[in-house]
Amino acid sequence: MKTRIVYEDRDILICHKPAGLATQSSSVGRPDVVSELKNYLSGGYVGIVHRLDQPVEGLLVFARHPRAAAALNRQLTEGMLGKRYCALVWGRPAAEEGEWTDYLRKEGNLSRVVLQETPGARRAVLRYRVRAREDIAAGRHTCLDIRIGTGRFHQIRCQLAHRGLPILGDQKYGTAESLEESRSLGIRYAALCACEIRLTHPATGREIFYEISPDWINY
């Protein structure tokens, strides 16, 4: 099983999804996290609460019964299910930290930054902070901590690329320079990781917190 389970009880599962594995695939016979978990649980209930893009790695929480799924989905809707991401980008933002608000529209399998009045535009809010200097190589790459106030399609990847900061390894939003650098570093997938998750346990009410380091951190 490619999916790594980091926490498990009778109500929830918290997993580390590797880059390149879909959360759930529509193709029969194609591996994905949900299929692996159902096999692991011998066909038991696996409730999807949130997803990660296929080329992105990170932490996901799944419910093991419908009551837990309903409780976790309420937390997600109310902004109580906290997530932090880290990304390795080509370039460096002008400020050490900041907040960006854009309007995104899904166009096929991509998101685009558009004007607010564009039909289908949805507001997207992203907050970032540059990580410690030792995480930055030769000034060409920057490691960012990221939190999002909205959950739009490809939001982080699109907003970063729009500001000239494409994520290394991102085949859809990268530039020729960022992709060439990715190849030289051996980064095959988007260097974006959902590295932290915080939630309230749906049965016990206690706070659950997990943090991981991305597989690409020591590139």
Catalytic status, residue 145: no
In whole angstroms, what is the distance from residue 89 CA to residue 93 CA? 9
Pick the catalytic residue from 9, 11, 32, 53: 53
Residues in the chain: 219
C-beta contacts of 102-110 below 8 A and 24+ residues apart: 102/126, 102/158, 102/159, 102/162, 104/152, 104/153, 104/154, 104/155, 104/158, 104/159, 106/153, 109/172, 110/154, 110/158, 110/172, 110/173
Cα→Cα distances 180→7, 28, 206, 211, Å: 37, 34, 46, 30
In 3D space, the residue among 182, 27, 185 whose CA is nearest the CA of residue 172 turns out to be 182
Residues annotated catalytic, as ranges: 53
